[in-house]
Amino acid sequence: MAGSNACDSRVNNTQKKLLECVTVEGVREHQAAFQAIADANGGVRAAGTPGYDASLDYVVAKMTAAGYNVSVNAFPFVYVALPTLQQTAPISASYETGAFTGTGYGNVSGNVTAIDINLVPPRASSSGCDGAFTEAFVGAPIVPDPGGPDDFAGFTAGNIALIQRGTCSFALKATNAVAAGASAVIIFNQGNTPTREGLIIGTLAPFVASIPVVGASFANGAALSQPGSTASITLAPPQNVTQYNVIAESKDGDPNNVVMAGAHLDSVQRGPGIQDNGSGSAALLEVAEQMAKVKPRNKVRFAWWGAEEAGLIGSNAYVAGLSAEERQKIALYLNFDMIGSPNHVFFIYDGDDSDAVGAPAGPPGSAEIEKTFEAFFNMRGLPFKGTDFSGRSDYGPFIAVGIPSGGLFTGAEGIKTAAEAALWGGTAGQQYDPCYHLACDTFANINLTALDVNSDAVAFSVLQYAMNTSDINGAKGKGNFPPLSGGGAVPGNGSQSGLHDDHELESE
């Protein structure tokens, strides 16, 4: 390892020099900065929040100081703050919640009234199904029912209606609560089967409520049903805001042959995101800083994407804003999202569909990118495994327009198998990242070995393609950076899906 002073002054224009200067300590310094930003901004760095703005400012400052041509790429974003649900009596507690599609908005505090709930096994429930409206079956039109039974008889207008899942649609339950004068609705899970215990979030379609409608787990609903319960709900309306990607481009290199490398900068709203994706963002910062004095043959464009966690919003906007000519100038895209998972596996995106599992191969050239990463791991004597281009991270919009893509991943909510534990260590039967999308995704949520190895792999791949993309598009490269090939994933285990699936929304 070269000393920091030596790295500050020298040109890291070979793999040996660059990998000596890209250190896990340097990556961790950036992750520590992201943690400090989250700590100062409510524990999050999500798009639309001050924590994201501060993260963006940090990257801009670092890349400007390193001498890159830095710009921010604006895109429209609809920010939806997480709702909150708090019980204020007879106990004080905060509960995980979520907004139903079609909810109204507002801040509501008041008495909680349970509506015909059943907490006794087997917990058959028609809570909220009988009232001013009815439906013949779930999905049928909701129509007035003036003479029918009424679960809301005696309900005090202005109270919060606590309704149990079961029998009829969420839409009918909410419609009847609104008709009874409820100020808000909490729909909690039924609790009759193991799959109906956790937080429930669904859709009210086609009904559009005028009051907040949020979900709760069975256990939290039972707690809220205690006599004398009061609660507070906050549910802010969506806000149209402008967000930004950060683009840092080398001053040298062929502008008609651009090598892009990206990582998303935002966290989810439930945590600081220091692994997801502070790991990829920090590694990219460290590599960019250590490559700052390099004069690449090809233009190198680093990108830190915004609003990935909301559905790849920033990267989609960036690619959509490129002209056909600008797209053609991009030789390839490398994606680094979650590269230091605590219970890691070394996944490489399956560019050629050699695993023959799940998603198809990437655009032509993606196979060669996969082989470049395979060559790195083979040189280190480390096992690796393919993972699908599932569309769950920022490579998605690049693949959609035919740009060759690849990248690294160490696992999210997937479960490590016994075979994987035998190869990479860790714990079989547990998530690759037990803190995925949670508040515990902090500076401590990391595997330093995985982060160290993958930070080197980021550096290796970016410098390789900065100097030579001939295996991708035939463009002449530097002779001391010959195209790389090799590999062969760990057999017999298939592919793993990528990242960031949204929760399925239940409809009844």
Residues 250 and 380 occupy one common structural domain: yes
- Work out how many domains the chain is built from and give that number: 2
pLDDT at 507 over 70: no
Does 364 sit behind a cis peptide bond, omega within 30 degrees of 0 on the bond before it?
A: no
pLDDT for the residue 497: 40
- Residues 62, 103 within the same domain: no
Same domain, 66 and 101: no
Q: Which of 192, 208, 235 is the last residue of a domain?
A: 235
User: Which CATH number does the domain housing residue 22 bear?
Assistant: 3.40.630.10
Residue 314: CA count within 13 A, CB half-sphere: 31
Q: 270 and 146 in one domain?
A: no
Q: Answer whether 324's CB lies under 8 Å from 45's CB.
A: no
Q: Does 172 share its domain with 45?
A: no
Reported as half-sphere exposure (CB side, CA atoms, 13 A), residue 162 has a value of: 28
Query: DSSP class of residue 99?
Result: B
pLDDT at 495 over 90: no
Q: Record the pTM.
A: 0.89
Q: What is the pLDDT of residues 172-200, one digit of tens each?
A: 999 999 999 999 999 999 999 999 999 99
In a domain, 212, yes or no: yes
pLDDT tens readout for residues 245-293: 999 999 999 999 999 999 999 999 999 999 999 999 999 999 999 999 9
Q: How confident is the model at residue 357 (pLDDT cuts 50, 70, 90)?
A: confident
Domain match, 49 and 88 both: no
Q: Would you state the structure tokens that stand for residue 396, as one six-digit string?
A: 């998605």
The reply to whether 303 falls in a domain is yes
Task: Assign 406 a pLDDT band (cuts: 50, 70, 90).
Answer: very high
Do 457 and 399 fall into the same domain?
Answer: yes
Which residue segment(s) compose the domain that 365 sits in?
A: 4-80+240-473
Establish if 40 belongs to a structural domain. Answer: yes
Q: Are residues 294 and 411 in the same domain?
A: yes
- Domain boundary at 183, 205, 235, which? 235
> How are strands ordered across the β-sheet holding 84-89?
93-95, 84-89, 230-235, 106-114, 160-164, 184-188, 213-216
Residue 346 falls inside a structural domain: yes
Residue 491 lies in a domain: no
Rounded CA gap, 230 and 501, in Å?
34
Q: Domain for residue 481, yes or no?
A: no
The model's pLDDT over 38-79, given as tens digits with 9 standing for 90+, comes to: 999 999 999 999 999 999 999 999 999 999 999 999 999 999
Active site (catalytic) residues: 308
Task: Please tell me whether residues 244 and 199 are part of one structural domain.
Answer: no
Report whether pLDDT(87) > 50. yes
Using the predicted structure, report yes or no on whether residue 83 has a pLDDT greater than 70.
yes
* DSSP class per residue in 223-272: HHTSTT-EEEEEEPPPEEEEEEEEEEE-SSSEEEEEEEEEEE--B-TTS-
What is the average pLDDT value for the chain, to the nearest integer?
Answer: 94
Domain boundary among 206, 235, 264: 235
Region 475-502: mean pLDDT is 57
Secondary structure E strands in 21-178: 69-79, 84-89, 93-95, 106-114, 133-134, 143-144, 160-164
CATH number at residue 105: 3.50.30.30
pLDDT digits (tens, 9 = 90+) for 104-120: 999 999 999 999 999 99
Residues 412 and 296 placed together within one structural domain of the fold: yes
Q: Please give the distance of CA 122 from its chain centroid, rounded to a whole number.
A: 37
Of how many residues is the chain composed?
A: 508
Q: How far is CA 13 from CA 135, 290, 471, in A?
A: 70, 10, 20
Query: Are 440 and 307 within one domain?
Result: yes
The reply to whether 52 and 91 lie within a common domain is no
pLDDT at 486: 41
Is residue 506 one of the residues assigned to a domain?
no
Does residue 480 lie in a domain region?
A: no
